[in-house]
Structure 1
Amino acid sequence: MAHDLTITEVLRDPDLHMWEHRADSRDAVLCLSGVGTDPAETPGHEFARSASGNGTRNVLFVADPNRTWLNGPGLIEKIVELWDAFVTRCGSPRRVALGHSMGGFAALVLPGFTRLDSALAFAPQFSVDPSIVPDEHRWMEYREKIESFRIRSVADHLNDSTDYVILHGRHPREAVQRDLFPLAGNIRHFILPRTHHDVPQKLKMAGVLAPFMKAVIDKRVRRARLILQDNFGAELRRPSETGEGVVA
């Protein structure tokens, strides 16, 4: 059955762009964009069909045109204010954040500032602060413009009540971010073999991006895990006896 997928721009400020899709469902998804492919253009909204369940879920799409990783002055408060108002209008009992790369980073950080039941992050950064990730040299054209790091790392903003699902590729270049993520009972960190930073692209090519997102949003953890294992041989990072993360 076809559903309407009208996406309406609701905010265009120098520091924040937003769009929304309204649906009959009461679930609300906060979909946060990555850095985009063209430095001269503001990132657009992402995951429109997958995040909305082909138009069946409410979605608030967010893009940070300055690529600040939530470090822009007052940016977090503005996103939270507009997200909370959106949730109220939707009457949403279940609230989920998701994103890729910079968007995944934001999806993991924002539960520290507003209620989110689940957060799904594809290839997120743990930090872009040079003092924490001195060996990370990607995205420097944006990182060098961040004057002050209010958000130094994801770990500073994790909580015990949100369910976190994190996906990374096994490629060695991802290790500088991937291996810093903490492990806990409410954090499921999957590693995809033969995958670099292009995690959602791999899922989309395999035809499982939408069903995987649905499983996470619906809190069907076993279903989400089986999709990753059956299609990619994904492995789950678990605590070792020494406290370090190991892949099992």
Structure 2
Amino acid sequence: MDKQIIFEDGHIRAIFLKGSSKELVFSFGDLITRAKGLSINAEKSLEKFQYNVIGVMPKEKSWFPESSIRNMLEAIADFIAPFETRLGYGGSMGGYAAIKYSNLLNLKRVIALVPQFSIDPEDVTDLRYNMFFHADVNQNMKVQAKDVSAEREYIVVYDPYYDEDRAHYVKLQEVLPQVNTLHLPFTGHDAIAILASSELLNDFLTQEFDETYFYKKIRQVKKNSKFYYRKVIEKSLKEHRASLGKILKNNDLQLDSNFFDAKQKQQLIRSLLSNKQVDERDLNKLGVQINIPQESRSLLLDNYGHGLVFNVISQKIESYAEKAIALNHKLLIPIYAKGTGLVQIHLNDERYIVAMNDRLVMKLFKEQDALGVGMSPLIIKKYEDYFVVSYKNLNLASDEFGGNEFIGDVSETAKFVLELESDS
């Protein structure tokens, strides 16, 4: 691997990666892939196809100040002179730079993933990046007509449903003489991670633009991208819950148990179980391994009429509508309640105690087994007209969405009433 630093100042570092291509690729880093040793943005993909590359890596969150780029170009002019065909590639901050300096660097084609038009709040309101604008460094930073040319080809990839990036795209569209646009819906600002494919990057740089061809390639990449499905699922959780089950049914996923964080997993499972969209096999695709028990059911109802259950998937006490419990009775186990005593459930004809520690981690223990270190059993307290579930001096309270938390007092949301279910 033949690499060397060919320019550096306080804001950027330019690194040359020697290849065998007739083209020279300027690969601009972003906020994540900032200067670190001799690393170059998209290096693995570019090196695979033996490109000659100049990796322009930001050292600060300063959006490639024009003064730095001009000083770089002056310093490397003789170095890049032999390369008649120059290409630009970058995402986000790097996508901005590839477009902004396309004339200055004489780029034949520019590939910009979710690029900015400017981070100057006078140009575009974008709370993600406006904080990084500094007038003394980023003077006159927006992309202008003088920065671009009809002689160059611009390909922009972005999510048209993501308002923040769409605002930049609309501004760029007004300035660019022509732009070939590829949409990547429901991915937000993460096109860079999803399209991290050596074959696709090579096509972007050299393949004649054909919308049908590129969308076919993008679909292939998305189909094999776990990251893409995570973004789609996150989007669906908020706006298109009915489609979650279809995503699992129609795609051959096999995610590991750490693919979603605990909060995402709980939201996802709640949505799927509430709508009875999936079975055990579908949950396994999400990396959720379950041991389905048989149970004897008895419901404690919260203040909103939801049944209190132990969710064997999330390993937490939650509240669900009675219909959802009936549909998912092997996964949502009603809390056993009779009188004052320990919180218990029945699994496989055995009685389990529900215990918790101060970090709010719940675990099940068979009646005859010893509790783990730091674990204390949850207690059901029976009063004249209601029950209370307690952990030490805290009491379980439910909200209207089925969420539960432990609070200090006994409010109306911390009072539960017993309703026995029929066997039918």
TM-score tier, shorter chain, comes to: 0.7 to 0.9
CA distance in 2, matches of 1:7, 1:35: 22
Aligned 1:96-245 pairs, distance under 5 A: 96-133=87-124, 135-144=125-134, 146-153=136-143, 157-169=147-159, 170-182=161-173, 186-204=178-196, 209-222=197-210, 223-228=213-218, 231=221
* Aligned partner (choices 23, 40, 45) of residue 40 of structure 2: 45
C-alpha distance in 2, partners of 1:194/1:95? 32
Q: Distance in 2 between matches of 1:129 and 1:101?
A: 15
Q: Distance in 1 between matches of 2:75 and 2:205?
A: 21
Q: Deviations over 1:31-86 (max 9, x none)?
A: 11112278x9899521002233x1511000112323332335x2121232345433
**Matches of 2:106 and 2:28, distance apart in 1:** 16
How many residues in Structure 1 have an aligned counterpart in Structure 2? 219
TM-score, length basis structure 1? 0.76
> SS where residue 182 of structure 1 aligns?
helix
Structure 2, unmatched stretches of 5+, are 224-424
Asked if structure 2 preserves the Cα contact closer than 8 Å seen for 1:33 and 1:44, the reply is no
For 2:110 and 2:208, how far apart are their aligned partners in 1? Answer: 14
Which of the residues 68, 75, 78 maps onto 1:75?
A: 68
Give yes or no for contact 2:115–2:165 (8 Å, CA) kept in 1.
Answer: no
In structure 1, what is the Cα distance between the partners aligned to 2:207 and 2:75? 25
Query: Is the alpha carbon distance of 1:148 and 1:102 closer, same or farther for their aligned partners in structure 2, counting shifts above 3 Å?
Result: closer
Aligned equivalents of 1:92, 1:218: Cα separation in 2: 15
2:148–2:177 contact (8 Å) kept in structure 1: no
Q: 1:42 to 1:191 in 2, by over 3 A?
A: farther
2: distance between equivalents of 1:212 and 1:55?
11
Q: Distance in 2 between matches of 1:193 and 1:33?
A: 23
Deviation at 1:188, TM superposition (A): 0.5
TM-score (norm 2): 0.46
Moved more, 154-163 or 190-199: 154-163
8 A Cα contact 1:103 1:124, kept in partner: yes
Q: Comparing 74-83 with 111-120, which one deviates more in the overlay?
A: 74-83
CA distance in 2, matches of 1:28, 1:220: 17
Pick from 16, 23, 31: which aligns with 1:20? 16
**Distance apart, 1:113 and its partner CA:** 1.5
Q: Indicate how the Cα distance of structure 1 residues 97 and 85 shifts in structure 2: closer, same or farther if over 3 A, else same.
A: farther
Decide whether aligned partners of structure 1 residues 14 and 124 sit closer, same or farther in structure 2, where only a CA change above 3 A counts: same
Q: Which piece of structure 1 moves more, 74-83 or 222-231?
A: 222-231
Matched with 2:80 is 87
Secondary structure of 2:171's aligned partner: coil
Question: 1:190: Cα distance to partner?
Answer: 1.4
Aligned counterpart, 1:58? 52
Aligned equivalents of 1:153 and 1:43: distance in 2? 29
CA drift of 1:105 comes to 0.3
Alpha-carbon separation, structure 1, partners of 2:144 and 2:90: 14
Q: Identity over the aligned pairs, expressed in percent?
A: 18
RMSD after superposition = 2.9
- Name the SS for the 1:103 alignment partner: helix
Q: Name structure 1 gaps, 5 residues minimum.
A: 234-248
Task: Tell me, yes or no, if the aligned pair for 1:108 and 1:154 is still in contact at 8 Å.
Answer: no
Give the distance between the partners of 1:85 and 1:97, measured in 2 at CA: 19
Any idea what the Cα deviations from partners look like across 1:114-159, whole Å, max 9, x if unmatched?
Answer: 31100111111011111111x2111244224655523223555221
**Offset at 1:196?**
0.9
Q: 1:146 to 1:47 in 2, by over 3 A?
A: farther
C-alpha change, 1:104 and 1:43, in structure 2 (3 Å) is farther
Output the amino acid matched with 2:133.
Answer: R
